[in-house]
Structure formats: C-alpha cells, structure tokens
C-alpha cells in the first residue's frame, strides 16, 4: 500500500527543499492539517519551514538565529523561554569568560569583544537578556 505524502512527514527534520516536488496547494494543505501537531512536537525556539511559509507574521531572517527572531517577534511563550534559558545562560557564561575565542572555521578564530559578540549571536540570546546579565554580572547565573 502506497503511503500518502502526509503520512511520511517528520516536520522536525525536513527543510524547505524536501517539499520542492510538492505543489504549493499540497504544502499548504499539509501545514493546515498537521501544523499544530508539528509545533507541539518541535524543539524550543524552532519552527518548521512550513510554519515560516504559511503562519509566520514575518519572513525568516537567516542572518540571525531562529530563536532570537522568534523572541523578537513575540512568538516564544514562557514555557519555551524557560527551556531555552539554560542554553542561553551557558552560552553567555562561555562568551564572557576571559580568553574566550569563537571559531569561524578551520584556523579562523575571533578573540576579545568580537568573539563575545559572535558567540552571543550564534546562541541567539535576545539582547534584553544580554543587557540584564551584563548589568547583574555572572554570579546570578546557575552553574
């Protein structure tokens, strides 16, 4: 028995190119039918490509981390933020340690302020958290 396209979809692992052979109508119908389930099973701070296409109020800005864009758009709920906080705190601690370096690729490293900014951007930490943590210092963060 042949499976329908909708039966084979794992939204969490698919990229937009995976839907290239589908018609626009098939993609939209799939999202309308299975989108809520896909969101419920998704990772905190991430949305499937079809969410960005059919539900997002803004286009995906690939110059920033997805969780940061979702936060700035007001799309992350408190539960998602709570799940992301330990990751953001860890990245903040890493970025603010003396001697921290950020790797851009083989043999390419940033140091100092540039390394800090690149790591904070890579982690997708919202600016309001960075500002708050800079003011409070590292002592308040859980180890």
Among 41, 81, 108, 136, CA closest to 124: 81
Q: What is the rounded CA–CA span in Å between residue 2 and residue 101?
A: 52
Alpha-carbon separation of residue 137 from 41, 83, 95, 99, 129 (angstroms): 35, 21, 13, 17, 12
Model pTM greater than 0.75? yes
Q: Are residues 96 and 115 in the same domain?
A: yes
Domain extent at residue 29 = 1-56
3-state percent helix, strand, coil for the chain, nearest multiple of 5 = 60, 5, 35
Q: Are residues 26 and 78 in the same domain?
A: no
User: What is the tens place of the pLDDT at every residue in 91-139?
Assistant: 999 999 999 999 999 999 999 999 999 999 999 999 999 999 998 876 5
Q: Are residues 73 and 120 in the same domain?
A: yes
Q: Are residues 102 and 48 in the same domain?
A: no
Q: Are residues 69 and 134 in the same domain?
A: yes
Q: Are residues 46 and 73 in the same domain?
A: no
Q: Are residues 74 and 142 in the same domain?
A: yes
Q: What is the rounded CA–CA span in Å between residue 90 and residue 79?
A: 18
Q: Are residues 71 and 26 in the same domain?
A: no
Q: Are residues 27 and 70 in the same domain?
A: no
């Amino acid at each position: 028995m042949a499976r329908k396209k909708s039966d084979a979809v794992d939204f969490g692992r698919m990229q937009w190119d995976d839907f290239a052979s589908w018609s626009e109508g098939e993609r939209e119908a799939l999202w309308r039918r299975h989108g809520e389930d896909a969101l419920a099973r998704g990772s905190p701070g991430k949305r499937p490509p079809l969410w960005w296409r059919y539900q997002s109020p803004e286009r995906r800005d690939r110059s920033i981390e997805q969780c940061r864009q979702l936060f700035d758009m007001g799309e992350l709920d408190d539960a998602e933020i709570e799940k992301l906080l330990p990751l953001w705190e860890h990245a903040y601690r890493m970025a603010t340690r003396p001697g921290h370096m950020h790797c851009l690729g083989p043999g390419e490293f940033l140091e100092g302020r540039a390394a800090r900014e690149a790591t904070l951007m890579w982690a997708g930490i919202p600016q309001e958290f960075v500002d708050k943590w800079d003011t409070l210092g590292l002592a308040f963060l859980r180890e």
